[in-house]
């Protein structure tokens, strides 16, 4: 990218006669000022700032270069906050700290640019996981940089210590386990004359699992268990809950579970949750959900329903003698649909709304009534270009004109949310005769541009300014969700906007309004005006008559009305009392000869009067 050239060219340098730098941003007292969001405006890559008296530590004093500028908006200006500042000079380390709990080694440097090293780099390979291949029984370790290290080349002997599943036949009193090698082996010695399983204990040293039951019960299968040493499962009637006594056990593929704190059952899977180094819990699968074989929902329990705050409607079914049960989401169970528009406003649903045409659940209806989400109030950004020449100027005059461009940021205001604004200005680009048309790059909301020795032309004298501004914040609704409409594009995808300013070049009307012996210029009016009120001074016995002149550019006078005693102008045409001739007059600084119509009152002597002239 080529260097961006400046707007002002100097052929001489500056001689600064005070004790401060020419750019006030180039020095600051404290190192914290560099990124406090209020001290350093408009940072840029390569910007140099010297910290000269840091209150925290003299080691922070020195000159810093901004390598990555990050800006935030504060009072419509952009300040440094989060920028990267690198101290110039000095690179030696001044100390270091090792934090055992975080396993990090931190160094501090003389250039105020310390750094932190992961402690695992000094701890062997930094192992993060062990993986046992269930086919080859080869154990591997995975390092923190994802390198794989083989721990053993001889298969691990886990034939009878890793149970992958099993089937229990209650009528035969036997259970058959599947081992990791795929070879099934039976385990016997169970008591079978009981109807209800109240618990089970597996003894890995003996290869025996004991079930505690009461009464007679049909046979059922329990397959697909993932086995963990020394787990004792306590359960009540046809339910599995309250897991305990798992302290110190080791799951099959690594990690430590220090205690099982609970569990859930869903779609044939039993999920055990515990504490310690375990991410997803232990899954026990293979349960049947039919009533005849256990695991079902039985009658005789209790059912409750609630709104679940404002996000769901649920029903909970609890078995007899239980304290917990199954929760079912009923949010979409009931829907109300009506293709007609609403006839009155209820809560957040306004009259005339088509809210129910697509069908709404009870949850959605209650949410919209009692907790409506409102759109933000958006005020559009505005752009104006003004001039100091007024509305009218005399054609041919040579004048100087000052132009002022003003940008007012748009706002998005939602109750309970921070005000969001459109982005800061980027550039003003003017258009028109004699004006500088090079882009004026600035973050300021206003800009001024003068022109000199401009000759006023007839009709509209017009200039323009194109405003280019940056991306601003994202509007949100009252719930904090991003809000989108045609008005939000000015915040997220702003397009350049153009403002215009102009004045009209005209020739003046003059009349004997101050003294009947000479003409006085009247307030300038548009050449397209068709009704003009003109004051005329009293004649007395003066030989001069009341007169007025109209530039031929405006047209002919077709009617002249005079006021009645109440100051009204009846539509009675008195133009016959006035004679019309033509003549040329010099009306501007260039002494341009301009053709005029001359009207002179020919009636009897009269006093002051303001006539109404109709021009066509």
pLDDT digits (tens, 9 = 90+) for 56-111: 999 899 999 999 999 998 888 899 998 899 998 755 555 667 666 665 656 566 55
Compute CA distances 382 → 90, 315, 447, 449, 580, whole Å: 50, 54, 14, 19, 50
Q: Please name the residues in contact with 194: beta carbons below 8 A apart, sequence gap of 6 or more.
A: 211, 212, 213, 214, 215, 216, 217
Q: Which residue has the higher pLDDT, 166 or 283?
A: 166
Return the bridge partners of 322, or none: none
- Tell me, yes or no, whether 156 lies in a domain: no
Query: Is residue 11 in some structural domain?
Result: no
Residue 78: give the domain boundaries: 24-87
- Report which DSSP code applies to 246: -
Cα–Cα distance, 158 to 204 (Å, whole number)? 12
Rounded mean pLDDT, 403-422: 97
Q: pLDDT above 90 covers what percent of the chain? A: 47
Is residue 572 in a domain?
Answer: yes
Q: How confident is the model at residue 406 (pLDDT cuts 50, 70, 90)?
A: very high
Cα 474 from Cα 490, distance rounded (Å): 10
User: Do 553 and 583 reside in the same domain of the chain?
Assistant: yes
Q: Which two tokens stand for residue 67?
A: 């390598």
The two three-digit tokens of residue 445, written as one number: 């909301």
Q: What integer pLDDT is reported at residue 368 of this predicted model?
A: 84
Assessment of whether the complete model's pTM goes beyond 0.75: no
User: Which of 349, 370, 391 marks a domain boundary?
Assistant: 370
Specify the higher pLDDT residue, 26 or 122: 26
Distance of alpha carbon 264 from the chain centroid: 39
**229 token code pair:** 């040493």
For position 185, what pLDDT does the model report? Answer: 52
Residue 152 gets the label, from left (phi > 0), alpha (psi -120 to 50) or beta, of beta
Q: Are residues 395 and 434 both part of a single domain?
A: yes
Contacts of 216 (CB under 8 A, 6+ apart): 193, 194, 195
Q: Which distant-in-sequence residues (6+ apart) come within 8 Å of 191 by Cβ?
A: 173, 210, 211, 213
Q: In which band, very low, low, confident or very high, does the pLDDT at 371 lie, cut at 50, 70 and 90?
A: confident
Both 354 and 400 in a single domain? no
Are 456 and 471 members of one domain? yes
Structure tokens at 246: 């798992």
pLDDT at position 174: 60
φ and ψ of 219, to 5 deg:
-70, 145
Q: Does 350 have pLDDT greater than 70?
A: yes
Looking at the fold, whether 288 and 177 belong to one and the same domain comes out as yes
Q: What are the backbone angles phi and psi of residue 299, rounded to the nearest 5°? A: -75, 170
Q: Is residue 321 included in any domain, yes or no?
A: no
Query: Considering its fold, how many domains does the chain have in total?
Result: 6
More confident residue, 145 or 427: 427
Residue 613 predicted with pLDDT over 90: yes
Q: For residue 450, what is the domain's CATH number?
A: 2.60.40.10
Per-residue pLDDT reduced to its tens digit, 221-231? 333 333 333 33
pLDDT at 393: 97
pLDDT digits (tens, 9 = 90+) for 156-193: 454 333 444 556 665 565 666 555 455 555 554 444 33
Q: What average pLDDT score do residues 587-609 get?
A: 90
pLDDT given for residue 168 in this prediction: 60
pLDDT at residue number 14 = 84
Predicted pLDDT of residue 219: 30
307 found inside a domain: no
What is the reported pLDDT for 382? 98
The whole-angstrom separation of Cα 151 and Cα 390 is: 90
| 400 and 494 co-located in one domain | yes
On the question of pLDDT at 195 being above 60, the answer is: no
The answer on 179 and 272 residing in a single domain is: yes
> Residue 417: what pLDDT?
95
Cα angle value 549/555/557 (rounded, 5°): 60
pLDDT at 346 over 60: yes
Domain ends where: 87, 113, 142?
87
- The 8-class DSSP code of residue 522 comes to P
Scan for tokens 């949410």, then name that residue: 367
pLDDT of residue 209: 53
Domain membership flag for residue 151? no
pLDDT at 428 over 60: yes
Whether 124 shows a pLDDT value over 80: the answer reads no
Q: Are 484 and 398 found together in one domain?
A: yes
Whether 400 is in a domain gets the answer yes
Does 465 share its domain with 481?
yes
Residue 293 DSSP class: G
One domain, residues 202 and 179: yes
DSSP 485: S
Mean of the per-residue pLDDT values for the chain?
Answer: 76
User: 341 with 457, same domain?
Assistant: no
pLDDT tens readout for residues 33-70: 999 999 999 999 999 999 999 999 998 999 999 999 99
**CB-based burial of residue 430 (10 Å sphere; 0-12 exposed, 13-18 middle, 19+ buried)?**
buried
Distance CA 17, CA 40 (A): 24
With a cut of 80, say whether residue 592 has pLDDT above it: yes
pLDDT of residue 134: 63
Q: Which of 481, 506, 531 is the last residue of a domain?
A: 506
Please give the average per-residue pLDDT across 266-279, as a whole number: 52
Q: Between 149 and 49, whose confidence is greater?
A: 49
Are residue 437 and residue 502 in the same domain, yes or no?
yes
Any idea what DSSP says for residue 87?
Answer: E
Residue 45 lies in a domain: yes
pLDDT band at 1 (very low <50, low <70, confident <90, very high): low
The confidence score (pLDDT) of residue 256 equals 40
């Amino acid at each position: 990218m080529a260097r961006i050239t400046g707007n002002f060219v100097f052929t001489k340098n500056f001689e600064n006669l005070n004790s401060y730098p020419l750019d006030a941003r180039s020095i600051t007292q404290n190192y914290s000022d560099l990124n406090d969001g209020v001290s350093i405006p408009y940072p840029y890559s390569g910007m140099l700032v010297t910290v000269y008296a840091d209150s925290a530590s003299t080691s922070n004093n020195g000159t810093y270069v901004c390598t990555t500028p990050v800006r935030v908006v504060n009072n419509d200006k952009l300040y440094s906050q989060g920028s990267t500042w690198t101290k110039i000079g000095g690179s030696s380390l001044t100390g270091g700290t090792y934090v055992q709990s975080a396993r990090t080694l931190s160094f501090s440097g003389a250039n105020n640019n310390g750094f932190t090293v992961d402690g695992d780099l000094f701890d062997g390979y930094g192992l993060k996981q062990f993986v046992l291949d269930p086919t080859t029984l080869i154990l591997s370790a995975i390092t923190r940089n994802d390198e794989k290290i083989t721990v053993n080349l001889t298969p691990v002997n886990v034939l009878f210590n890793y149970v992958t599943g099993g089937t229990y036949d209650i009528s035969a009193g036997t259970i058959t386990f599947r081992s990791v090698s795929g070879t099934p082996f039976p385990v016997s010695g169970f008591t079978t004359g009981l109807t209800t399983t109240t618990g089970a204990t597996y003894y890995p040293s003996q290869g025996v699992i004991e079930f505690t039951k009461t009464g007679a019960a049909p046979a059922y299968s329990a397959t697909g268990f993932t086995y963990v040493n020394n787990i004792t499962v306590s359960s009540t009637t046809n339910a599995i809950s309250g897991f305990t006594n798992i302290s110190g056990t080791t799951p099959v593929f690594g990690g430590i579970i220090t205690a099982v704190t609970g569990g859930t059952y869903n779609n044939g899977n039993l999920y055990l949750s515990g504490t310690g180094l375990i991410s997803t819990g232990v899954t026990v699968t293979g349960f049947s959900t039919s009533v005849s074989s256990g695991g079902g929902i039985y009658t005789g329990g209790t059912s409750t329903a609630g709104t679940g705050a404002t996000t769901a409607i649920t029903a909970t079914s609890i078995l007899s003698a239980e304290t917990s049960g199954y929760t079912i989401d009923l949010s979409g169970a009931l829907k109300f649909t009506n293709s007609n528009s609403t006839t009155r406003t209820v809560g957040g649903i306004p009259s005339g709304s088509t809210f129910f045409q697509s069908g709404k659940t009870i949850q959605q209806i209650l949410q919209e009534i009692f907790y409506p989400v409102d759109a933000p109030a958006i005020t559009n950004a505005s752009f104006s270009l003004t001039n100091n020449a007024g509305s009218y100027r005399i054609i041919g005059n040579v004048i100087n004109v000052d132009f002022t461009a003003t940008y007012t940021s748009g706002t998005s205001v939602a109750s309970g949310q921070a005000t969001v604004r459109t982005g800061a200005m980027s550039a003003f680009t003017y258009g028109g005769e004699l004006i500088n048309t090079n882009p004026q790059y600035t973050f300021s909301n206003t800009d001024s541009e003068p022109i000199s020795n401009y000759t006023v032309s007839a009709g509209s004298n017009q200039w323009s300014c194109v405003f280019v501004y940056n991306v601003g914040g994202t509007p949100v609704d009252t719930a904090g969700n991003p809000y989108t409409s045609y008005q939000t594009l000015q915040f997220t995808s702003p397009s350049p906007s153009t403002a215009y300013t102009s004045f009209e070049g005209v020739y003046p009307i003059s009349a004997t309004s101050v003294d009947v012996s000479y003409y006085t210029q009247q307030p300038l009016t548009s050449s397209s005006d068709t009704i003009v009120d003109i004051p005329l001074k009293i004649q007395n016995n003066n030989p001069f008559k009341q007169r007025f002149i109209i530039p031929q550019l405006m047209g002919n006078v077709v009617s002249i009305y005079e006021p009645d005693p109440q100051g009204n102008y009846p539509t009675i045409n008195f133009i016959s009392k006035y004679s019309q001739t033509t003549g040329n007059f010099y009306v501007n600084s260039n002494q341009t000869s301009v053709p005029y119509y001359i009207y002179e009152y020919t009636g009897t002597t009269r006093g002051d009067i303001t006539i109404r002239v109709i021009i066509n």
